[in-house]
Chains A and B, each alone.
Chain A
Amino acid sequence: MPLWLREHSWRQTLTAVYLSLPLRGARATPANIFCSEQYLKVSIPPFLFEAVLYAPIDDTNSTAKIGNGNIFFTLYKKEPAMWDSLTLANADKEKLQYLRENAVLKAQEKAKEEMEAKKITKQEHKKYALEATMKVEEAERKRIEDLKEKERQKVTKELELWKSQQKDGDKYKSIQNKRELHQEIEPLKERKNEKMNTTQIPNEGTSKTRLKSTKGSCSIFSQNLKEEQLPAPRAAATIKVNFTPRVFPTALRESRVAEEEEWLHKQAEARRIINSDLSELEDLKEEEKNPDWLKDKGNKMFAMGDYLGAVNAYNLAVRLNNKLPLLYLNRAACHLKLRNLHKAIEDSSKALELLTPPVPDNEDARVKAHVRRGTAFCQLELYTEGLQDYEAALKIDPRNKNIEKDAEKIRHLIQGTMQSS
């Protein structure tokens, strides 16, 4: 139950109402005050003051001053008129309720409208700012364009000038050529006449001077001389050329060199394998050159107990293709049976190398390799290494009981030797 604040005092003028509300020690903030056109509420829990005003007020311009344990309201009346009292006297509960709700709704609407207005102004400001930047950039661009255009025009003018000079030059030259031709014919004619009348000295003289006066004709003669001075065509010869060797017919690019090297390397590998066997294995049957067929043969011999034969088959298969892990794996098994323990270890290791990356597909093979190598180690009494391999096998296949049993046995053996030593 709120505590009603009733000790308020008020006075009024024609246009305004001044309300003073003492707060019994409570501190007020703007959030505690709610005011609408005809309803005023101050709620500072647990205190509450509300008033349904006699007449509507202009709530946007009215003010509330908080201070000195007191709120001082200055409410501007919508219609200047003297109020009989601050609040509506005969306000029943329903009306009160209605007014209250109405007030709240109105306040909310107002708040919404204000927000909308704010948003709109913000957008307009943004648009304006954008347009302003665009204008500035446009101006900058235009300035640069203008500079460039000016350059171009200047240059075009220069070009035209040069061209017209060229044209004039050509014209001059063609005139000169004509004159030269004319000049050439003249002295020739003169010379012919000379041969006929050797006594015509004055003519000779004039022709000579005519010759000398035009510089065009001089150039013809000098050019003829020049032509005669050109060396004879060179004596034909051949220079033999060696190129930096390159296998590929394409052009050399630095960025491709690594790829090319790799390709060549692989080609060389393949060729080596084929070539090394060709000579010795010419007398082998076709099927015997197939590593898979040889592997099967080896497996069969192993099953029958012919371990040496199996090893031979696997050896041949490896020579043909040394990248098949199963060959090494099976050969390891043979070596175990033959008690060639070191060879067994070697082959199991090679098999494991080839069985990278470790994927679920080659799990079985890897387990077998580890087990075989482990067995070989143990038989050489290198129990710690053997245990390592067994544990690796267990890691791959934890559910294999046999491996577990064997691993246990080895552990006991190790502990036994440690205890005894």
Chain B
Amino acid sequence: AAVGGERPQIVSHVQQALSYTVFDCKWVPRSARLLCLGSAARGTGVLQLYELHGARLELLREIEKPKPIKCGTFGATSLQQRYLATGDFDGNLNIWNLEAPEIPVYSVKGHKEIINSIDGVGGLGIGEGAPEIVTGSRDGTVKVWDPRQNDTPVANMEPVQGESKRDCWTVAFGNAYNQEERVVCAGYDNGDIKLFDLKTMSLRWETNIKNGVCSVEFDRKDINMNKLVVTSLEGKFHVFDMRTQHPTKGFASVSEKVQKSTIWQVRHLPQNRDIFMTSGGSGSLHLWKYEYPAQRSKKDSEGSEMGVAGSVSILQNVTLSTQPISSLDWSPDKKGLCVCGAFDQTVRVLIVTKLNKI
């Protein structure tokens, strides 16, 4: 455990004021460049590409699009191409070549309402299998797309006929440890979490955590699913141990209540899958460490295996803003470098020190 002066410090490195609302910020892989996506005041979408130069951010490109952009990912693109997949307020999924952003490389009107969340897998030299993109929307559906197939999704998780829909707020890929296996986890505004298995095309697990689910993330997409962190309204988050599924009780979990306000995002450190950062509606960031229990599974009274959840301890926290920090991304190249975007129209580059000592 980190003690006293050995605790990681969250240092604010650069702050950049923006003239639009930023909804998502992402590092461009293999570079010191970052991308900010959002909505300008006149209702159009904005993409800005910045480069980190010493203590400031230099604007390299600014691209305007007809509809505001909600989310983006580099997860399904190759390292050479580094195409960005975005979801916008109108339900369109686009893949852009940032060198030539006038025409998208791939475009589809995937949903009837805003795409709240997007994730990509199979790209960047990580994992195996086809590159795929998953989008979750307010229209209650979760769709998986293959950039090689136009117009129709390769998987569609939609409400039963006649069922009233719930907003899907977040999606994440996981369990992609070989070419066939893949799961998608989706969180909804009524507290539902659903785990879809894409190999068998079925619902593998579902639960309800009694608060709207804001963000879900597996600790690693490309391994046998290990841990899933779910954050929600009312300042709570849950860490599920995904190695052992009990037939009735599902997955074991541990939960923490951090604060009164919503926890908007969770992001695992790419270089250490047991450290993750949560960002809150009060403008604060919390850095956590998960500790595994002595035994990760045990037998219950009937002899079926059930998981044992570990414990979560806080490493550091800092308040950067008075407005919610809605997006967060760790740099995959430099350990401890991260960018966060808040609703006070500011994007901040932070450095978390002493992560090597954890």
Report which A residues bind B (CB closer than 8 A): 148, 151-152, 155-156, 159-160, 162-163, 166, 169-170, 230-244, 246, 250-255, 257
Q: Is the CB of A152 within 8 A of B11?
A: yes
Q: Is the CB of B144 within 8 A of A243?
A: no
Q: Is the CB of A241 within 8 A of B234?
A: no
A223 to chain B, nearest CB (A): 9
A231 to chain B, nearest CB (A): 5
Q: Is the CB of A239 within 8 A of B201?
A: yes
Question: Given the complex of chains A and B, what is the CA–CA distance between A142 and B252 in angstroms?
Answer: 47
Task: Identify which of B11, B179, B190, B210 contacts A231 (C-beta below 8 A).
Answer: B179
Decide if the interface of chain B is mainly helix, strand, loop or mixed: loop
Once A251-B233, A252-B210, A254-B211 are accepted as A-B contacts, the answer to whether A241 and B157 lie under 8 Å apart by CB is yes
Interface string of B225-258 (1 = CB under 8 A from A): 0000000011000000000000000000000000
Is B317 engaged at the interface, CB distance under 8 Å to the other chain?
no
* Known pairs A155-B353, A252-B189 / 4 extra A-B pairs, C-beta < 8 Å: A240-B158, A241-B163, A251-B233, A253-B212
Q: Is the CB of B154 within 8 A of A236?
A: yes
Q: Is the CB of A253 within 8 A of B190?
A: no
Once A234-B155, A236-B154, A255-B234 are accepted as A-B contacts, the answer to whether A241 and B203 lie under 8 Å apart by CB is yes
Report which B residues bind A (CB closer than 8 A): 9, 11, 13, 30-32, 52, 54-55, 129-132, 140, 144, 146, 148-149, 152-160, 163-167, 179-180, 188-192, 194, 196, 198, 201-203, 208, 210-212, 233-234, 333-334, 337, 351, 353
* Residue of A whose beta carbon sits closest to that of B53: A163
Q: Is the CB of A163 within 8 A of B52?
A: yes
Decide if the interface of chain A is mainly helix, strand, loop or mixed: mixed
Q: Is the CB of A244 within 8 A of B353?
A: no
Q: Is the CB of B188 within 8 A of A159?
A: no
Question: Given the complex of chains A and B, what is the CA–CA distance between A237 and B11 in angstroms?
Answer: 47
Once A231-B129, A233-B130 are accepted as A-B contacts, the answer to whether A159 and B337 lie under 8 Å apart by CB is yes
Task: Identify which of B11, B153, B189, B201 contacts A148 (C-beta below 8 A).
Answer: B11
* Residue of B whose beta carbon sits closest to that of A160: B54
What chain B residues lie within 8 Å of A252 (beta carbons)? 189-191, 210-212, 233
What chain A residues lie within 8 Å of B152 (beta carbons)? 236
What chain A residues lie within 8 Å of B132 (beta carbons)? 234
Task: Identify which of B54, B211, B334 contacts A156 (C-beta below 8 A).
Answer: B54
**8 nearest A-B pairs in the assembled complex, by CB-CB distance:** A251-B212, A251-B189, A233-B146, A234-B154, A237-B201, A246-B190, A233-B149, A252-B191
* Residue of A whose beta carbon sits closest to that of B184: A239
Once A234-B130, A255-B234 are accepted as A-B contacts, the answer to whether A239 and B154 lie under 8 Å apart by CB is no
Task: Identify which of A155, A169, A232 contacts B11 (C-beta below 8 A).
Answer: A155
What chain B residues lie within 8 Å of A246 (beta carbons)? 166, 190
* Residue of A whose beta carbon sits closest to that of B349: A159
Q: Is the CB of A162 within 8 A of B13?
A: no
What chain B residues lie within 8 Å of A231 (beta carbons)? 129-130, 179-180
B169 to chain A, nearest CB (A): 8
Best-buried of A148, A237, A239 by chain B (most CB within 10 Å) = A239
What chain A residues lie within 8 Å of B153 (beta carbons)? 236
Best-buried of A169, A235, A241, A251 by chain B (most CB within 10 Å) = A241
Best-buried of A148, A243, A244 by chain B (most CB within 10 Å) = A243
Question: Given the complex of chains A and B, what is the CA–CA distance between A243 and B234 in angstroms?
Answer: 21
